[in-house]
Structure 1
Amino acid sequence: MLWPLIKGSASRWAQSHKCARLVRRASSSAQAGRTAAGGSGSDPGQGADESVTGMFHHILGQNPELKDIVETLEKYIPFIAILLVKLFFDHSAGIVTFICLLTTFTHANSVVKQQVAQQGRKNKLALLAVLVNLVACIGFIYYMFQDEKLYNCAIFLPPSKIESFYDLFWFVGVNDFILKFVSVIFKVGLLLLPNTAVPYQKRGKYFLFIERTSQIHRELAPIHIWLLFLLNGYERIPGKVLGVIMVAVYMVAKGKLLLKSARCWKQAIHKILQSKSYGKNPNPDEIKASGGSCPICYEDYRLPTLLHCKHIFCEECLATWFDREKTCPLCRAQVTEDPEWRDGSTSHFVQLF
């Protein structure tokens, strides 16, 4: 079906290529005649371009292995399409749910990052809208799938049933998105607090702590679900032995990840407890020499801070900047360590294991 079309196109391409050569020869002869007669003329062109099918035919002719792959795909494409349609139809509710959860999370995460960057000019209505939307989504998911007891997964209790590989990924995936929503809700709540309750200098550290806590929670949540999946369904001794071996391998691999997350969580706590200044207070001459306005917000200095690279900024602007960057805004000299997760963002990684 596909190969005869390619073959026919190749024949037409060869004929057009031959005609193009004849046209070029005739054009060259005419051009030579005009030149000899003292006339002037323009180049009529370089002939017809190679068609896409002709190029494809040439590539296949030079690569027999690729030709075999194309012919094999031609045979299997209809059956693969049928299986994909059936898969989507059988699990349409789950697929649509995952798409909706991903879209909701991506929007909420983007809004939070934007509002963190706005500093004192954040839009509280936008934050409240995200808060209401996330709470409503969590309630809607739990209500629609209440028979499956999805809420148990978040508190390390077994769900209703795990009978297949699809059930495993359904429970783990949906629960991971729910826990992400909870993390974003806490970050929105932190943003809505007044500066007197949480100083802006420490908000980035609290965002980091919330994210690290959420990540370690999300890594712990799938463990009991995976253990049930690996151990259940075996009645004979060989199957039970295989289940125990798989559980042991899973726990060893999971243990390494948990130790790394625990160290990161401990570092996040340490950063909250420590008080660090990015620079020192400049004298009036240094402020006057810098122009009197902050290069970040372009307004008069508010609590000016002099970095070790001799550049001056507002303390609030610096706190927000170093929640996203680790270098000076002007000269790119390194001032602080990696600012990961201090800008209010939440990890997109789906914890499926």
Structure 2
Amino acid sequence: MYRITTFISISHFVSLCFGNLNFSKYGFSGFFITIWITAGLVKSNDILRKQTALKGERKFSVLVGYSFAFILHVSGIYWWCRDDEIFYPLFMVPPKVIPPFWHAIFIILVNDTMVRQAAMVLKLALLMYYRNSRAHNFRRQGQMLTLVEYTLLLYRALLPTPVWYKFFLNKENGSLFSSLITGLYLTFKLTSIVEKVQSFVAALKALSRKVHYGSYATSEQVNVAGDLCAICQEKMHAPILLRCKHIFCEDCVSEWFEMERTCPLCRALVKPADLRSYGDGSTGLLCQLF
């Protein structure tokens, strides 16, 4: 008797979750698309990070090739899903028809993933522009990549709103209940968006201020230090004297501070706590579903 009751309960739960889902249209093809675009995003993120790390060794033709491949991939996915009302949320317009729960998830997931991959094309364009730069411009490259990512995070926070707005306003659940749920969702969403706006403004302000880890070292200071960079283990180029009195190549220490805030040798705090940097070209892999 207990097993029968348990089976009925599970069956009821499954029917609630999947009852409105048309498997011929959204089930198998939707599952395949979800796996495909997720794997593609992870691979694309890895490619972008590796190209960013190459700095002056990047090849322009390779960057153009990856950009074309990303554009082709995004275009192909949207062409495949062209009948699913998937474009409306991109312009903050609710779908024409109230989507079933899993279809709403599918729309949001595809848009969120494809928007991130489209932003990678912009990041590749930045890598093309800064590919023959020195340390100062590489710092600016990191700031620009970070700004692109925080702009993307703000836009991604807005993307699910029109879909859930349409979904929660389903009058079949009762006007009062629908209005209450919609109001609660929009309230929590507003809080999240305010936080994203603050991060975006901070990333924008970072472009207008110079990063000072220390000052350029004199030849005497370099000779005393041994004229050997502890990071690259080569003769110093444009040596920077940190506030902790350790000296490193400008290129090396600039790359170091894209990931760390302390001196590579003594671990003294040099870079103040600030926004998380995305100067390595990475993109957040967690999906913004709500």
TM-score, length-normalised on structure 1?
0.71
The code of the aligned residue for 1:184 comes to M
3-state DSSP class of the match of 1:280?
A: strand
User: Which segments of 5 or more consecutive residues in structure 2 lack a partner in the other structure?
Assistant: none
Q: For 1:297, give the aligned amino acid.
A: C
SS of equivalent residue, structure 1 residue 226? helix
C-alpha distance after superposition, 1:136-194 (max 9, x if no partner): 11110111111224232212123453331011101111110011112211111111114
Which residue is equivalent to 1:191? 127
Larger radius of gyration: 1
Greater CA deviation, 195-204 or 285-294? 195-204
Letter in 2 for 1:351: Q
| Other structure's SS at 1:313 match | strand
Tell me the equivalent position of 1:289.
224
2:264 to 329, 339, 342: 329
Asked whether the equivalents of residues 95 and 166 of structure 2 are also in contact (C-alpha less than 8 Å), the reply is no
Aligned residues: 274
Distance apart, 1:285 and its partner CA:
2.0
Higher relative contact order (CA 8 A, sep 6+): 2
Aligned mate of 1:97, from 17, 27, 33: 33
Structure-1 residue corresponding to 2:100: 164
**Structure 1 runs not aligned, ≥5 long:** 1-70
Equivalent in the alignment of 1:109: 45
SS at match of 2:207: helix
Alpha-carbon distance change, 161 to 242 in structure 1, aligned in 2, over 3 angstroms:
same
**What amino acid maps onto 2:76 in structure 1?**
F
The CA deviation string for residues 191-218 of structure 1, in whole angstroms up to 9 with x for no partner, is 1114569921211111111111000001
Give the 3 Å change call, closer, same or farther, for CA 137–172 of structure 1 in structure 2.
same
Corresponding position of 1:265: 200
Is the deviation greater in 187-196 or in 174-183?
187-196
SS in structure 2 of the partner of residue 148 of structure 1: coil
CA contact (8 A) 1:201 1:316 kept: no
For residue 341 of structure 1, report the CA deviation from its aligned partner: 1.9
- Name the structure 2 match of 1:228: 166
- 2:152 corresponds, among 214, 220, 226, to 214
Structure 2 residue corresponding to 1:248, chosen from 166, 175, 183: 183
* Counterpart Cα distance in 1 of 2:56 and 2:84: 43
Distance in 2 (CA, whole Å) between partners of 1:273 and 1:265 is 14
For residue 168 of structure 1, what is the amino acid of its counterpart? Answer: A
1:64 maps to which residue? none
**Percent identity between the two aligned chains:** 28
* TM-score, length of structure 2 as denominator length: 0.85
Coordinate RMSD, CA, aligned: 2.7
